[in-house]
């Protein structure tokens, strides 16, 4: 891995799959088929794409019990503890309704209401992550969403992975359906005989899932469309090359298009991390993926000063940022754009991926400039409350009518004046 | 206007313009032209679509001073007072960064950061509303966004309306450009020589603006794509038919596709409102628009009980809801889905459109089920903070590694274990 000095206008090399016209056509066809034929289409697509001939889409209590028997007790208790940590962090995000009264007696406020329902998409195969189930479901649960529906494509044996089922059960999901792909998104958006439509769909998926979410957006809400995962490490000479390299590789093993970047003020660290990455790569089970990611999307940049390094991080707006420097916490105030900030050497990224409590669904591809981690806010909505008093109305009515007339909206002015007689 | 009894599965008749293939093609062509040719394309499109041959896009201080001279002083002071009310309400929405320390010494938190920049689109012609300038700019200002850029198509005389310029100046906008349509959205998203790109674009516009926003979404953030405006009035026999009718018409005059619905427990009120609408319609300057809206998208429903009426409102999920009943404030707790709730007879909708303080940019077309009024939240983003202590790491590290291995992510486990040696 080469180390380079920072040059102006730096940005991570990023790869976002926007899908082809063909893929969009396929997705639109699937959605209209599901709209038209409901469950029948879901069974047919599940047989076609997942190789599973199902008699029922809904996961039964027996299947969940079986999943619990498959996992060892220690693992179950780890998932449970992670769920509690996530619930506890997200509870702090929850906002309550507020109202206040002005001197003129009018009342203004903001009512917070959970969404009625949410659908969580969980990918199948090797990307079936119990942690992702927790991270998507717990914020909805904490928000107070009453009906949470989970969908996930079954294996060809017609089953979902034990870890996924146990995590869903621990998170409190009652309705789990064995269906994936664009057809699952369509079912969540428009409903079928088995699956009642939801108000919002979250969760990662392949390009067909992403395109389907984009397609149904507006009829229902969706979360962001995630790109490949990214990490940036901001480090000085106090950091351990071994730890920095290990953290960069933990990101690189996700995906050949994942990105791992080090920005450091230390030329020595830069070189040592480059060597460590080579060394550690060799013994990784997913070394082929990690190798491709490091070669194509990995980078090490050396900055003259910490100020320059921080500015570079803000330009990158990474999904994950680790700060491994002296006085790391002090630097947090200078970070403007990052999905999650991991501070100090004991905050290796997997701490946040699985366990600490903050959400691991984070803005990728530079969207940390304007987007946020998945949170309780995403499962609640606000309604404004306006209760004008007679006093306020008498005081301000004529001004409001004048403003309406400035905009040429006479009926607005008359609505105010209708109260005067 | 007919009155009908409520029947199951009621929904407002709504019309959303999704744009044609042709319009999408045009918008894509405009965007790529602006990307390629920058200001040159903006000048050319402004001449072509707005009939204005400009020498400079940016509004000068002289133009703003001239605008102040055009408006009378009383109107200027009304706009100023409205801006203060909006600022004061939105200040209550602003959230601060929080951190907390667990018993094991680890620190978790959420950092709140304003977006660096925001672009506000203001429509031209008869839809150029100073109130819309205030409602889009003030939340961004309150959030702390440093660079707020406004764009609006000029008239064929090369000018923007005085009210719009004064409102922008009062709201504190420094950069105003005379450009509209898809070309303005493209400039905000990708930048030109004159206009630096922004992180988020908000504000209403015609179908070309809406399609352009949808097209650039992902590269920058956008607000919701608004549909035609809607009001639902929930009233009992205590309401004044004259006031209810006037409020419904104030919505209907916006747009032929606007919707005004009354849900009442009183057959007498229903009939009286129908008569009042006919009577008031006659003398409205925009009666042709209001008439079309009432005929095509207006409705009066009579419910057996208030409970049934409230349930109907929740099914409608209206943009604006007025409650004109005995004990109106008590009913607010039962309303689950509405953009803004106007309580009692003195809270005629224009009170909120112009003056009270809450935002008038609201979710339309039933999206109040999952969307919220424009707010300070829309101009800030969150970053999670995780600072694990050594104690927390020692206590939980092995569990985190085990969770990673359950998901087959060995490099994640090794990143944790790299800290053990």
| Ranges of each domain in chain A | 3-16+227-356, 21-96+116-222, 388-417
Give the CA diameter of chain A.
Answer: 85
Q: What span, in angstroms and rounded, lies between the C-alpha atoms of A344 and A324?
A: 5
Q: Tell me whether strands B298-302 and B259-264 are parallel, antiparallel or unpaired.
A: parallel
Just list the catalytic residues of A.
319-320
Q: Do B415 and A249 touch (CB under 8 A)?
A: yes
Query: What is the distance between the alpha carbons of residues B56 and A384, in angstroms, rounded to a whole number?
Result: 40
Closest by Cα among B199, B164, B231, B258 to B379: B199
User: In this complex, do A115 and B385 lie within 8 Å of one another by their Cβ atoms?
Assistant: no
- Structure confidence at residue B11 (pLDDT): 61
The backbone torsions φ and ψ at residue A301, rounded to the nearest 5 degrees and listed phi first, read -115, 140
Please report the pLDDT score of residue A10 as a whole number: 60
Average pLDDT estimate for A349-359: 96
Closest CA to B310 of B298, B321, B299, B297: B321
Higher pLDDT, A70 or B421: A70
Residue numbers in A near B290 (CB within 8 A): 411
Mutation target to probe the A interface, by most A beta carbons within 10 A, among B289, B351, B390, B420 is B351
State the smallest CA–CA distance between residue B268 and chain A in angstroms.
Answer: 19
CA distance B352 to A109: 12
pLDDT of residue A4: 77
- Closest C-alpha among B405, B219, B293 to residue A129: B405
Q: Give the list of residues 6+ apart from residue A393 with CB closer than 8 angstroms, or none.
A: A419, B346, B351
Q: Which residues of chain B are within 8 Å of residue A351 when distances are taken between CB atoms?
A: 386, 388, 393, 396, 400, 416
CB B260 within 8 A of CB B293: yes
CA B406, distance to chain mean position in Å, is 44
Residue A8, pLDDT above cutoff 60: no
Question: Cα B215 to chain center, whole Å?
Answer: 18
Q: Of B401, B404, B411, which is closest to A284 when you measure between CB atoms? A: B411
User: What's the pLDDT at B227?
Assistant: 83
pLDDT at B358: 98
One of 3.20.20.370, 3.20.20.140, 3.40.50.1980, 3.30.450.40 is the CATH number of A21-96+116-222, namely 3.40.50.1980
Strand A107-114 to A98-101 pairing: antiparallel
CA distance A343 to B388: 7
Q: Enter the DSSP assignment of B118.
A: E
Our CA-based measurement puts residue B115 at a distance from the nearest CA of chain A, in whole angstroms, of 6
Task: Say whether A284 and B350 touch across the interface (CB within 8 A).
Answer: no
Are the Cβ atoms of A370 and B381 closer than 8 angstroms? yes
Q: Which chain B residue has its CA at the smallest distance from A328's CA?
A: B387
Contact between residue B161 and residue B128 where contact means Cβ atoms under 8 Å apart: yes
- Beta-carbon-side half-sphere exposure of residue B77 (alpha carbons within 13 Å): 6
User: How close, in Å, is residue A337 to chain B by CA atoms?
Assistant: 8
First to last CA, chain A: 80
What single-letter DSSP state applies at residue A194? S
How much is the pLDDT for A225? 78
Sequence-separated (6 or more) residues with CB below 8 Å from residue B330: none
For position A226, what pLDDT does the model report? Answer: 79
Q: For residue A249, give the H/E element and its range.
A: helix A241-252
Which pLDDT score is estimated for A18?
Answer: 77
Please calculate the CA angle B304-B310-B312 and round it to the nearest 5 degrees: 80
Q: Is the pLDDT of residue A68 over 90?
A: yes
Nearest chain A residue to B338 by CA distance is A383
Q: Beta-carbon neighbour count of residue B20 at 10 Å?
A: 11
Q: What is the model's pLDDT at position A47? A: 97
Terminal C-alpha separation, chain B: 80
Nearest chain A CA: its distance from B56 CA (Å) = 27
CA angle A132, A138, A144 (to 5 degrees): 150
Q: Which of A232, A334, A223, A302 is nearest to A14 (CA)?
A: A232
A–B interface: beta-carbon pairs under 8 A: 349
- CB contacts, 8 Å: A355 with chain B: 396, 399-400, 403
Closest to A122 measured CA to CA, from A78, A82, A81, A167: A167
Residues linked to residue B387 through DSSP beta bridges, in sequence order:
B107
Give the separation between CA B170 and CA B137, rounded to whole angstroms: 10
Which of A389, A399, A407 comes nearest B129 by C-beta? Answer: A407
- Tell me the H-state helices in B198-240: 207-216
Q: Decide: B293 and B257 in contact? Cβ < 8 Å.
A: yes
Average pLDDT of the segment spanning A212-223: 90
More confident residue, A19 or A150: A150
B349: nearest CB among A387, A401, A415:
A415
Chain A residues with beta carbon closer than 8 angstroms to that of B385: 332, 340-341, 343, 358
What is the rounded distance in angstroms from the CA atom of residue B181 to the CA atom of residue B235?
40
Under CATH, to which class is B3-16+227-356 assigned? alpha beta
Confidence of residue A15 (pLDDT cuts 50, 70, 90): low
Contact between A390 and B252 using a beta-carbon 8 Å cutoff: no
Is A229 annotated as belonging to a binding site? yes
Q: Is A206 annotated as a binding residue?
A: yes
Yes or no, beta carbons of B253 and A354 under 8 Å apart: no
d(CA A405, CA A407): 5
Q: Is the pLDDT of residue A63 over 60?
A: yes
Query: B403 and A82 in contact (C-beta within 8 Å)?
Result: yes
Domain covering B21-222 assigned CATH 3.40.50.300 in the classification = no
- Local structure of residue B377 (DSSP, 8 states): G
The pLDDT value recorded for residue B8 is 54
pLDDT at A12 over 70: no
Residue numbers of B annotated as active site: 319-320
**Do B350 and A416 lie within an 8 Å CB cutoff?**
yes
Q: Please, what is the average pLDDT of chain A?
A: 94
Whether A3-16+227-356 and A21-96+116-222 share one fold: the answer is: yes
- Please give the radius of gyration of chain B, using alpha carbons only, rounded to the nearest integer: 25
Contact A370 B344 (CB under 8 A): no
Compute CA distances A47 → A35, A60, A126, A157, whole Å. Answer: 18, 19, 19, 11
Average pLDDT over residues A197-224: 92
- Range of weakest confidence among A34-38, A126-130, A213-217, B35-39: A126-130
Q: Look at residue B224 in the predicted model and tell me its pLDDT.
A: 82
Question: To the nearest whole angstrom, how far is the Cα of A181 from the nearest Cα of chain B?
Answer: 21
Tell me how far apart the alpha carbons of residues A206 and A128 are, in angstroms, rounded to a whole number: 12
> Cβ(B248)–Cβ(B231) under 8 Å?
yes
Q: How confident is the model at residue A176 (pLDDT cuts 50, 70, 90)?
A: very high
- Spans of chain B, pLDDT less than 50: none
Residues B121, B106: Cα–Cα separation, whole Å = 44
Chain position carrying tokens 């790869």? A15
Asked if B399's CB is within 8 angstroms of A343's CB, the reply is no
B353 is in an annotated binding site: yes
The length of chain A is: 421
pLDDT value, residue B17:
73
């Amino acid at each position: 891995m080469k180390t380079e000095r920072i040059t102006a206008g730096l940005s991570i090399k990023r790869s976002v799959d926007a899908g082809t016209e063909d893929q969009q056509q396929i997705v639109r066809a699937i959605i209209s088929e599901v709209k038209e034929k409901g469950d029948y289409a879901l069974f047919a697509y599940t047989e076609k794409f997942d190789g599973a001939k199902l008699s029922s889409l809904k996961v039964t209590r027996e299947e969940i019990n079986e999943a619990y028997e498959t996992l060892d007790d220690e693992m179950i208790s780890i998932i449970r503890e992670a769920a509690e940590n996530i619930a506890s962090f997200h509870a702090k995000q929850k906002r309550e309704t507020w109202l206040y009264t002005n001197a003129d007696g009018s009342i203004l406020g903001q009512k917070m209401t959970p969404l009625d329902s949410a659908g969580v998409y969980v990918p199948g195969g090797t990307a079936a992550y119990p942690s992702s189930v927790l991270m998507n479901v717990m914020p909805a649960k904490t928000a107070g969403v009453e009906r949470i529906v989970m969908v996930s494509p079954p294996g060809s044996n017609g089953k979902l992975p034990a870890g996924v089922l146990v995590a869903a059960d621990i998170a409190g999901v009652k309705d789990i359906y064995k269906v994936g792909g664009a057809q699952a998104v369509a079912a969540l958006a428009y409903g079928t005989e088995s699956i009642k439509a939801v108000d919002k769909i979250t969760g990662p998926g392949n390009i067909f899932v992403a395109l389907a979410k984009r397609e149904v957006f507006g009829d229902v809400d969706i979360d962001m469309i995630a790109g490949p995962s990214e990490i940036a490490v901001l480090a000085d000479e106090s950091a351990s090359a071994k730890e920095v390299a290990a953290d960069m590789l933990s990101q690189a093993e996700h995906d050949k298009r994942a990105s791992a970047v080090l920005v450091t003020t230390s030329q020595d660290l830069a070189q040592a991390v480059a060597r460590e990455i080579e060394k550690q790569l060799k013994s990784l089970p997913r070394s082929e993926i990690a190798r491709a990611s490091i070669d194509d999307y990995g980078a090490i940049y050396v900055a003259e000063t910490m100020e320059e390094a921080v500015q570079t991080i803000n330009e990158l707006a990474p999904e994950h940022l680790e700060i491994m420097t002296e006085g790391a916490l002090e630097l947090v105030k200078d970070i403007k754009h990052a999905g999650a900030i991991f501070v100090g050497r004991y905050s290796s990224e997997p701490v946040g991926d699985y366990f600490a409590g903050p959400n691991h669904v984070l803005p990728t591809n530079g969207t940390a400039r304007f987007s946020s981690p998945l949170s309780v806010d995403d499962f609640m909505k606000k309604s404004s409350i306006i209760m004008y008093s007679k006093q306020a109305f008498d005081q301000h009515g004529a001004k409001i009518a004048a403003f309406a007339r400035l905009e040429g909206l006479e009926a607005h002015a008359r609505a105010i004046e209708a109260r005067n007689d």
